Structure 1
């Protein structure tokens, strides 16, 4: 009997089943490299979109704490204390977002482990949705703008702390400095001329090609997210937040649904 060879359609169906599984696993409490990568790609896209769209909304990037701290120093030197205070509020909001993520994850780890990473992602989705709906419904810049900057900074801190905790500090999604630095390190290893396999392991210079590819993908994803966010805000205004919130809900919801099914059983 001749062996059964899977058809192209079978392989396609398998790939289609695998992707929903990866989406379901993206915020699961049991982590894998594949799940971390999927979540990182989605969150990096959202961060790029929020950062670029937020710049058009409030005239300031909301994930670059280095730049914000530098601006605080500049404004203090120039005597523009009101603008320095705005920077301080932005910094405090980012820190508050990161602290909130840690609180939610640690509480979830003790009480509902299955949903520990879904909590901060769901909160980010809710706040992003509320921000978009408020902006669309009021249509008044003076109503939304005072809330926009601290809220967007809070969201970026929340997101960055979440991916940092679940990936063991291997991945950041809201800023590129660390990613680009790591890319440079791996490229330097790749170009290093003395790669003698006979050398002791601790003296070998070996590039992590997989890491380099993932970092390049994340940088490109942030750029694509920024383009999408800039175009989205230009065309739809604050409504550009709604599809981003829906994408985050798509990641978080499977953990809440599976927990509900488990209770029924």
Structure 2
């Protein structure tokens, strides 16, 4: 419980940011790949939806335009929800500022896992079923959590920036420094950052394999163990806050 509490606590360290980031990268990969098996769309990265929006406007495919707008709106709404929850908890000096959005994501994942077959048939004004909007909303929630806790140094739901940063660090490693160059002028790679980016990529891919296999062989219920993991991460700070709120106020 103490370890889990530190992973999602208000006060952050590089170690806890890294550990939580890796866990959530695995979760994002699993949800992204499993979601694709369910709805045939990748709902974690918005670049593709923006490109779809532009192409569909030119081609006059209104259904695809509405689908892209819906996914973008859901993702931004999830990120906005995280900002509201985190800042609300910070104002009240709660331990659970980052645990609250993860708790919400876990509950939505349980909803997706238990009612996924029904939500796939639930129509929306955006020409896509509710499942697509739900997945995009959850990815927005999670991406904003990691962004806020790490000051935008770690991303988990889309890997474009991670691949770019890893490529830059590899380029620095391969850069031929001339003999006699003073230490201040040498090009040096940050091996710790390179290791972090490589780990994020690996966990995202492993999560994708697990998510795709889980949906293929088990169905929507494969999400329940993942939701249980997020619940385990989010509950300890919430329990700590509940204990603090139950304490009687000091007498004056």
Matched, 1:255 2:234: no
Following the alignment from structure 1 to structure 2, what is the Cα–Cα distance between the partners of residues 118 and 65? 24
1:93-172 aligned at under 5 Å gives the runs: 93-135=74-116, 138=118, 141-143=120-122, 146-172=129-155
Matched with 1:194 is: 177
Q: C-alpha offsets along residues 58-117 of structure 1, whole Å, 9 cap, x if unaligned?
A: 110001200111011111111111111111100111111111111110111001431111
Change (3 A) 1:93 1:141: closer
Structure 2 portions without partners, runs of 5+: 248-252
Q: Give, in angstroms, the shift of residue 128 of structure 1.
A: 0.9
Match of 1:205 in 2: 187
* RMSD over equivalenced CA pairs, Å: 1.9
Q: Is the 8 A contact 2:96 2:238 kept in 1?
A: yes
* Superposed displacement of residue 191, structure 1: 1.1
Post-superposition offset of 1:264: 4.7
Question: TM-score normalized by structure 1?
Answer: 0.86
| Cα distance in 2, alignment partners of residues 225 and 75 from structure 1 | 31
1:122–1:248 contact (8 Å) kept in structure 2: yes
| 8 Å contact from structure 2 (residues 116, 131) kept in 1 | no
Contact 2:113 2:220 in 1 (8 A): yes
Q: Verify the 8 A CA contact 1:75 1:81 in the aligned structure 2.
A: yes
1:33 matched to 2:18? The reply is no
In the alignment, the residues of structure 1 paired with residue 129 and residue 11 of structure 2 have an alpha-carbon distance, to the nearest angstrom, of: 39
Question: Between Structure 1 and Structure 2, how many residues are aligned?
Answer: 243
Q: 1:83–1:208: structure 2 CA closer, same or farther, 3 Å change rule?
A: same
What residue is the counterpart of 2:67 in the other structure? 86
Q: Which has the higher helix share?
A: 1
TM-score by length of 2: 0.91
Q: State the shift of 1:240 in Å.
A: 1.4
1:176 aligns to what?
159
